[in-house]
Amino acid sequence: MDSVTATTTRPGTANNAAPQDRGGNLISSDFQTFLLMLTTQIQNQDPLNPMESTEFAQQLATFSGVEQQVKTNTLLESLSDKLGLSGLAQLAPWVGMEARVDAPVMFDGAPLTLYPVPDASADQAVLVVYDASGGEVMRSPAAVSSAPMDWAGTDASGAPLPSAAYSFTLESYSGGELIGTTTIQTYGRITEVRNGVSGPEIVLDGGAVITTADIAALRAASG
């Protein structure tokens, strides 16, 4: 039977020909074992009641089916890897663009535009800012509105915060009681697209790793 060799190499992994080699070696080893068992069976069969030739054919057909299934699985793995690389090629133009996400994004001194979503029954809202490690660095009152708002990168006293990755949430209050907390989306620059365990991964400036499903909007980089 023809063999299929996968030569696609994914970032961070060994050459995918290795699984094929292991599968081929396994088939070869199993076939030798099968022949030994079959020979032993023939040598020890009852001369007065020998095994029918159809039984030999059935056993050979069974082994052949297993061999074909292993090779089919290897082929499917190869196709999957190639499709993954094709997906990366399609996403490559996104590098350098900005994605609107609710993940930590890099602040480099220029104001960030935030897209809050307050609870519909809220009468007060509070903006909360976190650093890359999840520590709270600032909170301040915010408008109870879903209109975009600019964050200048300052703490509650107005002092500028250092250039770093930050994430944002909006706390919604009604009658002084907290009724909900939602993440706030903002734009972060895409620096890399790579293959992950579950598919393509997108890396933002600042180190956050997201998937295409995490992106609400995409735009050309501003400046």
Pick the CATH number of 109-186 from 2.60.40.4070, 3.10.250.10, 3.30.230.10, 1.10.10.10: 2.60.40.4070
Distance CA 223, CA 217 (A): 18
- Mean of pLDDT over the chain: 79
Residue 101 amino acid letter: V
Q: How many CB atoms lie within 10 A of CB 205?
A: 17
Distance CA 170, CA 185 (A): 10
Bigger pLDDT: 61 or 82?
61
pLDDT at 184 (0 to 100)? 97
Boundaries of every domain in the chain? 17-92, 109-186
Distance CA 13, CA 6 (A): 13
**Range 15-18, long-range pairs (CB < 8 A, 24+ positions):** 16/77, 16/78, 16/81
pLDDT digits (tens, 9 = 90+) for 175-213: 999 999 999 999 999 999 988 887 889 999 999 999 989
Range of lowest pLDDT (64-68, 76-80, 159-163)? 76-80
pLDDT digits (tens, 9 = 90+) for 59-74: 666 766 666 766 666 6
